[in-house]
Amino acid sequence: MSGVKLRSEKIDQYDALGERGQAVYLAAPQILSTLKRRRADLAQHFAIPQPSADGRVIDWYAPQNGAVVPWAAATEGERAAATARLDQVRQEVEALRASLGEGSDSLFAQLLRWVLHHPDSSHVYLVDGTPVVTFWGFLNAGADRNLAPLHALGAAPLAAARPVAAAAAPVAAAPLAAEVVRQPWWRRWWLWLLPLLLLLALLFFGLRACTPTTPALPAVSLPSVDVPSVKLPEVGLPAVTAPVAGVPGATAPGAATVVPAAPAGSAAVAPSVSQAAAMPAAAAPVAGNPVTPGLPSGPAPAIPAQPAGAHPPALPAGEAPGLAIPPQLPDGKADFLNGDWRVRAGIQDRNTGEPLRLQYQFKQGEGHVTLDRHNGVQCRAPVSAAMNGGALMISNGAAAACSDGSTYDMPAIRCQPNGAQVAACTGNYGAEQFPLTMRQPQP
């Protein structure tokens, strides 16, 4: 890509615009190539789309490098200039569309009608001062297709009329202005400098006059006071015999040291086995005094590694599987094709350009297709799938019968396996082709 990535969104939150079953964004490479060849100055206002592998997300890149300013962060002057420039681009695109006429470029000319339509102003960026539109050829889901292309930006501001009459009025005062300019500049400053100096002098002397004078404090001699000496009583601590560790009732010979109490919350230290074994026989417990039992020997009980009832985290749900064609299938009926399949990408009504939604139901290669049109009408037709030369062909048995009494021609679908194990499919309306994907709905 030429520049930085401006935006990345899923396309299922938008309505794709197009003509005769062809979406504008699917023909974006051809549109940009033609604009660069015929009008390179117009191509720099359209971001370059880059769809993801599954076609559900589109990344939009700037056509040139430069500082990027979102529309909401631009100044009023920058927005007005950008809106005026995009309105000029719209007029020039209309002129180019009219010049193509009804020749071989008729479909291209019809697609040019939608290139400046975009969801809202947040999809417009200023790249080095140039307005660049992302998600061109899209509208917000359910938006009116008949709105003006630049309705989200407002009308282009009118150029301010030149004040010719206002400029002519001061001509009579020109001689007086010339006389004022002839005076030396320093004379004009004298008139302001003298009052300023006087004001500073008044402030200086006035502040000095207002400053109070603090008189010196007289020396004061304090009388001396005799404090009688007081003898504090001595407090003696009684002698406390320290017990021998581990043996109740036994005292250490000649011990007269006061043992301080242990602080609150501290744990008593139990005597070790070696210390108990090193005690002399004279320190044996006296009859009648019970011996405190020691802690049980042996290893401490094992602590479980994690609390009971803990469960491993659940695995995230996978994406909807795409259509995969088994290798080396013989020609004939596609018995492997079963279940529900939904068609994604730019399927549109050939007459109105409205987005269409197709859903296929197969059982061993036979089934039907259901079409949901934009106005709520539902159409249904029988379909069959067969292998032909390694490709899967899905054909319609008859025109789809619709709930409003009309019929609708369904596109034929051809799918071929590729390296990604997901079949590459195309829809066919006679000589016109467009890419699509078939995926099963998520549970």
pLDDT in tens, 132-169: 999 999 999 999 999 999 988 874 433 333 333 333 33
For residue 334, with 0-12 CB atoms within 10 Å meaning exposed, 13-18 middle and 19 or more buried, which class applies? buried
> What is residue 420's predicted lDDT score, i.e. its pLDDT?
61
> What is residue 274's predicted lDDT score, i.e. its pLDDT?
40
Cα angle: 109, vertex 110, 111; to 5 degrees: 90
Q: Reduce the DSSP state of residue 16 to 3 states and report it.
A: strand
* For residues 362-389, average pLDDT: 88
Name the token pair of 286: 């006296």
Name the token pair of 441: 């709905």
> What is residue 185's predicted lDDT score, i.e. its pLDDT?
61
Q: How far apart are CA 248 and CA 289, in angstroms?
A: 7
Q: Are strands 424-429 and 432-439 parallel, antiparallel or unpaired?
A: antiparallel
* For residues 399-406, average pLDDT: 88
> What is residue 327's predicted lDDT score, i.e. its pLDDT?
81
> What is residue 211's predicted lDDT score, i.e. its pLDDT?
63
* For residues 175-190, average pLDDT: 51
> What is residue 352's predicted lDDT score, i.e. its pLDDT?
67
CB neighbour list of residue 319: distance below 8 Å, 6 or more residues apart: 54, 442
Q: Do 28 and 49 form a contact (C-beta atoms < 8 A)?
A: yes
For the question of whether the overall pTM of this predicted structure is more than 0.85, the answer is no
Q: Reduce the DSSP state of residue 141 to 3 states and report it.
A: coil
Q: Would you place residue 270 in the very low, low, confident or very high pLDDT band (cuts 50, 70, 90)?
A: very low
* For residues 198-222, average pLDDT: 70
Q: Would you place residue 409 in the very low, low, confident or very high pLDDT band (cuts 50, 70, 90)?
A: confident
* For residues 352-368, average pLDDT: 83
* For residues 359-375, average pLDDT: 88
> What is residue 432's predicted lDDT score, i.e. its pLDDT?
75
Which has the minimum average pLDDT: 62-66, 86-90, 303-307, 431-435?
Answer: 303-307
Q: Would you place residue 85 in the very low, low, confident or very high pLDDT band (cuts 50, 70, 90)?
A: very high
pLDDT higher than 50, residue 44: yes
Q: How far apart are CA 358 and CA 54, in angstroms?
A: 17
Name the token pair of 143: 């938006």
Q: Which amino acid is at 425?
A: C
pLDDT tens-digit map of 212-250 = 665 555 565 666 666 666 566 555 554 544 444 444 444
pLDDT tens-digit map of 300-346 = 444 444 444 444 344 345 556 778 888 888 999 888 889 998 887 66
Q: Do 324 and 422 form a contact (C-beta atoms < 8 A)?
A: yes
pLDDT higher than 80, residue 424: yes
Cross-strand partners of 400: 408
pLDDT higher than 70, residue 200: yes
> What is residue 345's predicted lDDT score, i.e. its pLDDT?
60
For residue 220, with 0-12 CB atoms within 10 Å meaning exposed, 13-18 middle and 19 or more buried, which class applies? exposed
* For residues 381-388, average pLDDT: 92
Q: Which of 153 and 357 is assigned the larger pLDDT?
A: 153
Kindly report the backbone phi and psi dihedral angles of residue 282, in degrees, each rounded to the nearest multiple of 5, phi listed first: -65, -20
Q: How far apart are CA 335 and CA 333, in angstroms?
A: 6
pLDDT higher than 70, residue 288: no
* For residues 59-68, average pLDDT: 94
- Domain coordinates of the chain in residue numbers? 5-153, 332-439
Q: How far apart are CA 130 and CA 82, in angstroms?
A: 7
Q: How far apart are CA 354 and CA 16, in angstroms?
A: 8
Topology at the third CATH level for domain 332-439:
Lipocalin (2.40.128)
pLDDT, averaged across the chain: 73
> What is residue 103's predicted lDDT score, i.e. its pLDDT?
54
pLDDT tens-digit map of 95-125 = 988 887 655 557 888 899 999 999 999 999 9
Q: How far is CA 375 from CA 103, 137, 142, 263, 403, in A?
A: 32, 21, 11, 84, 11
